[in-house]
Amino acid sequence: MNMRSSDGPMDTERKRWRALPLLLAVPLLGWSNQDAPAPGQEPPPRLARMISQVDRIPGTIPIPVVDAAIVDIGPRTMLLGGMTGNFQATPAIQLRRPDGTWQPVGNQMLNPRIAPDAIPLPDGRIFVWGGASGSARETLTTRLDGELLNPRIAGSATLVTPPADSGWLAPSRPCLLPDGTIAIAAEDGIHRYDPTEGSWSPPITIGRPLDQPALCHLGGMRLLLIDSDPDLHEARVLEVDCTNGSFDQWQERLPHPVPGCSLFLLPNGHVVVSTWFDQDGRRTSGILLLSLEDRSVERALLPAEVETTPNWITTCPNDADLLILMTTRASGENQALAFLLTGPGDASMKTWQLSTPPPGRLQMVRTSGQGRFELLGGYRFLNAREAREERLPEGATISTAIFQLKYGTGPIGD
């Protein structure tokens, strides 16, 4: 596959299908035009750098993909779906054993899915939701359905569709609640699916249509709901109690819409709002911090040279840390920018730039322990040695390599 980093077929096609409002490619801290310093103002200080290390680890992905869902069940890691090197969505389920080897690919989902969401359930099954099927070179179809499957049993998948007579357009990502139900925000409320009974509960109605909402589990049966209002150029924050169906709206609102955003709850009581869609349907590098204690909203910033709209961006939490990987026009052909948002146990938050970012882009990221992430696959430019090692053509390709990113061995500078 012959691709270039900035204007090649991969990036062009991804811009086209990512403009679909439902795709949540999995996944930040942005410098927007509104944040630019006025004439005479000092630019924000440069970020302190944190020492990091990237190492190749044994194993290669059997089917090279990007934008697959990653799920851990016990010591096993699974990749579900994704986009292959020929720009096609795949239904494949790839399973890695505890020793790092991969089982032969035999099981698959009912439908090919690029960038689906996936939640492991207590009984060992996986709830898969959304994504897109088709080809990025031709037509991609946004999926408004899901699947329940046992990843180790071929043919076990069953289709999950929205409630009868529903008109869902842009549902949120799903959240697993302690009672075993799965919550999804759509239309004008919160819907809950029972994977044991295979049925939907009556919705918790908010009383107004929701525009590309987002959900975050706060603990117990409580959810945080964010609903963007493009007409008022803001977004509302509500706390919902699924036990009694009540909800409470925050007085402070977000300063702009955040359609299709990602939400992460950190242990220090902050909710991170990230990677929402801009007006062109592309993921932004903005980030907002919501404090559950005083219901305040603040903005976090990266250096001014980081563009508002990156070529690619993904985020992954690790306890109280949030990893941010992105590429911009200023990035090297085979180099991502890596940032870490940290909040060690208290209300303070700090942003670091990692000293050694990983090679390539479009990696699938998972937490692999304290201070560690695994980066699987991705779109990389292989030199002659790397191409021989991975048995792939030299140049641009979807890689099968796996890397470990370690951080936190000490800061560099102030």
Two structure tokens written together for 400 = 């099968």
Give the whole-angstrom CA distance, residue 404 versus residue 356. 12
Q: Name the residue among 280, 279, 274, 359 with its Cα closest to residue 5.
A: 359
- Minimum mean pLDDT among 216-220, 283-287, 392-396, 407-411: which range? 407-411
Give the whole-angstrom CA distance, residue 147 versus residue 149. 6
User: For 201, which DSSP code?
Assistant: P
Task: Tell me the chain's radius of gyration from C-alpha atoms.
Answer: 21
Confidence of residue 159 (pLDDT cuts 50, 70, 90): very high
pLDDT at 284 over 50: yes
Any domain includes 141: yes
Any domain includes 86: yes
Q: Which residue has the tokens 């990036």?
A: 11
pLDDT at 71 over 80: yes
The per-residue pLDDT for 396 is: 82
Q: Name the residue among 114, 117, 118 with its Cα closest to residue 137.
A: 114
**Domain range holding 148?**
9-32+45-170+260-412
Any domain includes 310: yes
pLDDT at 1 over 50: no
Give the whole-angstrom CA distance, residue 109 versus residue 81. 8
Helix (H) or strand (E) holding 316: strand 312-318
Q: Name the residue among 189, 212, 209, 213 with its Cα closest to residue 201.
A: 189
3-state class of 168 per DSSP?
Answer: coil
Mean pLDDT, the chain, rounded, equals 84
pLDDT: which is higher, 31 or 115 = 115
Any domain includes 225: no
What mean pLDDT is predicted for residues 233-243? Answer: 95
Any domain includes 321: yes
If 0-12 CB within 10 Å is exposed, 13-18 middle and 19+ buried, where does residue 382 land?
A: buried
Q: How many domains does the chain have?
A: 1
The per-residue pLDDT for 304 is: 63
CATH code, domain with 289? 2.115.10
Angle at the Cα of 41 from the Cα atoms of 39 and 43, rounded to 5 degrees: 110
Give the whole-angstrom CA distance, residue 82 versus residue 66. 5
pLDDT at 19 over 60: no
How many distinct helices (H) and strands (E) make up the chain? Answer: 2, 34
Any domain includes 227: no
pLDDT at 370 over 60: yes
If 0-12 CB within 10 Å is exposed, 13-18 middle and 19+ buried, where does residue 123 land?
A: exposed
User: For 62, which DSSP code?
Assistant: S
Give the whole-angstrom CA distance, residue 82 versus residue 228. 28
User: pLDDT (tens digit, 9 = 90+) per residue, 299-352?
Assistant: 876 766 676 678 889 999 999 899 999 988 766 667 788 999 987 655 578 889
Any domain includes 222: no
| E runs forming strands in 166-229 | 175-176, 182-186, 189-194, 199-200, 204-205, 214-219, 222-229
Any domain includes 246: no
